[in-house]
Amino acid sequence: MFFYFIVLFIIALFLVIINPKNESNRWASAFLLFASLGGLADTIRSLVFPSLVIGNSSNLYIFLNVFQYILDFINQTLTPYGVLIFSIVYSEVFNKKWRSIFKVVLLLPVVMTLFTISDFPILKLNQLLLLYWVAPYYIISCFLLTFTFINENHPLKSKNKFITFIIIVPTILSILFFINIMRVYDPNFYFFPYVSVFIIFSLVTALFFSFRYGVLGMKVSIEKDHLNTTIKSVSSGTAILNHTLKNEIGKITLTTRNLKKSLKETNQDIDTYFNIINRASNHMQEMVDRIQDQMKDIQFKETENSMEELIVECLENLKSDLEKKEIKINVSLIKSIHFFCDRTHIKEVFNNILKNAIESMPIGGALTVVSYKTRKHIVVSIKDNGKGISSENLKYVLDPFFTTKNKRHNYGLGLSYCYNVMQQCGGSIELQSEENMGTEVKLMFPDKMIV
């Protein structure tokens, strides 16, 4: 049982450390912490008490006896509460106001259970009274976790929610049966050999899927935090570099002009050298301006826009590129969707992704642009049948300055800029790609943007 306590405690700690701002993670961490205390209480009873009795340490024995009862009370009452609140938050069925109400109201049975204890401070619980409210808590939790993955339309999110379902639901049901129900019939029933099978299953499944897909946002949040940190660091460094380069380029340009004016005689060779310096200075200035435009903080000026109109406009602007490569276009967009956005930035996002798709495709390629609704998003999918991206490069494509194109004309800031814009408007960007098969980019706009 001590091992059980250590493992659950470490997982609880890990969940809250990797993404403390995520409410689902915080509540998952909370209920795992409450659950782990049962293992600590059992360890005190089975390992610590025998040595204290032999040593005749009566005061310490009394203290630890009360302490293990407190741990047991927290474990048996706050674990089902934590599981239910986690399920409510994770399922996103209720809005923020209702979630806040539930957090208070659902705590009432825990408080009321405290008043049913007759032998205070021993805190011996009435298992039948406990079952009356713990059973509904666990059953509703299972229902919410089942409901949320069944009703999730987005394939990737549906997969993640199904993984969460198979990790949590079987173990919750085993706890309900082998601990809460069996204790009503036999207060001394030793549940651990049975429940441990389900706990081990959950831990192994969670470990496997956290490496492969991500569980409760673990993998995603690590990559996302890494990306946000990278962008922040690069933006800061780029601002300093841009400032320095602009100053030095200005000095070179001014000195060249003054030097050219001060020369009394000119010849063709000197003019050629001056022209080379001017062209180099202008190119450097253009490069610095482009990098600065992509990396600076994004300021939104939101207006009402038609999503269909923006996408069609971008396709019209790229018509010559599409015709040059004889690319077949398949467009299927939701009509009459208006949303509040910064027209300039969102158009630039569409342009960047469409250009990438066109550049990656051979002559006679196929481009598919589709928009559709999910429960919480409007999704714009841009899919090509180009050369695709290798699995090794796919994890870096959103990083600033990463590019597989000609580095002389591409600075690897396009997708990083798109990521920044989507984050700023509360949305997200997802990429799926297979080498030599093509790439699909999904832009997820939150429904709060819709008029």
Q: What is the per-residue pLDDT for 145?
A: 92
**What is the distance of C-alpha 139 from the center of its chain?**
27
Q: What is the per-residue pLDDT for 290?
A: 55
Distances (CA, A) of 451 to 176, 213, 336, 337, 384: 45, 34, 10, 8, 30
Amino acid letter, 263: L
Is domain 303-449 given the CATH code 3.30.565.10 in the classification?
yes
Q: What is the per-residue pLDDT for 220?
A: 43
Q: Cis ω on the peptide bond leading into residue 121 (within 30° of 0)?
A: yes
Encoded tokens for 283: 């190119």
Characterize the bridge pairing of strands 303-306 and 338-341. antiparallel
Neighbours of 75 (CB within 10 A): 21
Q: Return the axis-axis angle of helices 23-43 and 2-18, rounded to nearest 10°.
A: 160
Q: Cite the DSSP H helix spans in 176-267.
A: 182-185, 192-212, 218-262
What are the pLDDT tens digits along the chain (451 aa)? 677 778 888 888 888 887 777 888 899 999 999 988 888 878 877 777 666 655 555 677 777 777 888 888 898 999 999 999 999 999 888 888 899 999 999 999 999 988 887 665 556 778 888 899 999 999 999 999 999 888 876 666 677 788 888 889 999 999 999 888 988 888 778 777 888 888 888 888 877 776 555 555 444 444 454 445 554 544 444 554 555 566 666 667 777 777 767 665 556 666 676 676 766 666 566 655 655 555 555 667 788 999 899 999 889 888 888 988 999 999 999 888 888 888 888 888 898 899 889 988 989 999 999 999 887 888 999 999 988 888 777 776 776 655 655 544 444 457 877 888 888 888 888 888 888 888 899 998 988 888 7
Model-wide pTM > 0.75: no
Distances (CA, A) of 283 to 86, 244, 253, 408: 55, 16, 12, 11
Q: What is the per-residue pLDDT for 27?
A: 92
Q: What is the per-residue pLDDT for 221?
A: 43
CA–CA dist 19, 378 (Å, integer): 26
CA–CA dist 193, 185 (Å, integer): 18
Neighbours of 324 (CB within 10 A): 10
Q: What is the per-residue pLDDT for 80?
A: 95
Q: Where are the domains of the chain?
A: 2-216, 229-295, 303-449
**What is the distance of C-alpha 178 from the center of its chain?**
35
345 and 294 Cβ atoms separated by less than 8 Å: no
Number of helical (H) and strand (E) elements in the chain, helices listed first: 17, 7
Of residues 203, 213, 91, 214, the one with CA closest to residue 146? 91
The overall longest dimension of the chain from CA atoms, in Å, is 109
